[in-house]
Amino acid sequence: MEHGFVNKEPAEDLQSDVLQDRAQPQMSVDEVYALAKHCREEKDYQMEACWYEMLLMYRDIEKEQLITTQYCCGEAYFDAGNEKEALQWFEKAARQGHKKAKLRCGRMYAQSKEEKDQAKALYWLEQAAEEGNPEIQQQCGDMNCQGRGTKVSYARALYWYEKAFPWGSASTYFARGMMYYTGEGVGTDHTRAFEYLKKAADRNHVQAQYQCGWMYQHGEGTLKDPKKALKSYEEAVENGHVDALYQLGGMYDHGEGVKRDRKQALRIYREAGNKGETKAQLQCGWMYYRGDGTKKDRKAALQWFEKAGQKDCPEAWLLCGKMYFKGTGTDRDYTKALFWCEKAVQASDSPENPEAKYICGTIYLSGEGVKKDPEKALLLIREAAKQGYRPARLALKFKYPRQTIMSAT
C-alpha cells in the first residue's frame, strides 16, 4: 500500500526504532500526522498510537500540538482496547488543560466501583464541568449529593446544580432543601427545608418525594400527616425508590395513614427485600418467625435472615447463628452457627456482640463442629459477662459446665 506504512510490525519494534532516531527525526510533524490519520482510516489503532508516541519524542513539537497529540494517543489506545494506556495519555493531556481529556478521564474513572477511582472521576468531571457543560455539571451535582467520590455535600451539589440550571430545577430545589434539613452551610430550618423539598417533589424528584414522605410521617417542618406521607412514599415507589417501598410496608404494618394490613405489609416487605433492602429482608424474617400476616414459617424466616446477613447486618448475623445453634427452622449446625456468630462478634459496637460471643464460647467449649478450645471459650464467655450478658455470668458462676451453658442459652 501507499508509503508502505501499513505493515503490522509489533509496537515495541517500532518504538525501539523511534528511540534510536529521536534526536534527528526523519519525517516532519505533518508527515507523521498523515501516517496516524491513515492508520485510523484503516482502523489500525495500535499502529496509530505508535505514530503519535513517535511524534511526542520530537523536540521541536509545539506545546499545543503536544497536548493534542497526547489526547489523540489516548484515543488510539482506547479504540485499540487498551484502556489502561489510554487513561494515562488522557491524564497527561488533561493536566495540561485539554478540555476533552478532562471529560474522558472523568468518565473512565466513573466506571470503576473503587472509591479512590470515584474520587478521581469527580475531580476530573468537576474540572470539565467548569467549561460550562450542563450535563456534566448535573453529574457533578449528583455525585456530591449522593456522596460518590466524596463526602455528601449538598452545598457543593447546589453549586453545580445552579450552574447547570440557573433558573432552578428539581435537583436544585432538592439540594437547597437538604442543606436546610441538615444545616450544611446554613442554619438548620426544617420548615424552609420542607418548602424546597416539596417543590422538588412536585417536579417528580424521587429523593425529594421520599424525604417529604418522611417529614410528613414524623411532622418535621410541616404538620404530621400520615395520609400525605403515604402518598409521597407511593410516588417515590413509582419512581423506583426502594427505601420508600420499605417505609410504605411499615405504614401498612402499623396502620399509619391506612387501615392496618399485615398481609399487605409482608407483601411490600418481600418486594423491597427482593430488591436488596436489608431492613425489609430482616422484617420479612421476623414476620415469618412470629407469624405476622402469615403462618409461622421458621424455615422461611431463616432464609430471609440469611439474605439480610449477606449485607452488613449484625442483627441478622446473630439471628442466623442462634437458629443454627438451636436447630430452629433447620437442623442443628454448629459450624454454620459459629460462622454467623463470629461475624456478629466482629461488630464490637453492636448490641448483638455479647450474645454472639457467648454462643461462640459455648461452641468452642463443647467442640461441636469445631476443634475444642476451652481457653478460647472461657475468654469469649468472660468478655460476654463483662458486657453484662446474664447467661454468660451464670455460666461463669457455675464454672461453665457444658449442660449449664447449653441450658442457659
Asked if residue 340 lies in contact with residue 349, where contact means CB atoms within 8 angstroms, the answer is no
- The DSSP result for 259-327, as a single string, is ---HHHHHHHHHHHHHTT-HHHHHHHHHHHHHTSSS---HHHHHHHHHHHHTSS-HHHHHHHHHHHHHT
pLDDT of residue 327: 96
- Of the chain, the end-to-end C-alpha distance in Å amounts to 84
How far apart, in whole angstroms, are the C-alpha atoms of residue 143 and residue 128?
Answer: 14
pLDDT of residue 25: 52
Q: Is the full-model pTM beyond 0.85?
A: no
Any idea what the Cα angle at residue 388 is, between residues 383 and 393, rounded to 5°?
70
pLDDT of residue 399: 60
pLDDT of residue 401: 53
Rounded average pLDDT per 10-residue block, the chain, 409 residues: 35 41 63 92 95 87 90 96 96 95 96 93 95 91 92 92 86 92 91 95 97 98 97 98 97 96 97 97 98 96 97 95 96 96 90 94 91 92 93 80 49
Question: Greatest CA span in the chain, whole angstroms?
Answer: 95
Identify the burial level of 387 via C-beta atoms within 10 angstroms of its C-beta, where 0-12 means exposed, 13-18 middle and 19 or more buried.
Answer: middle
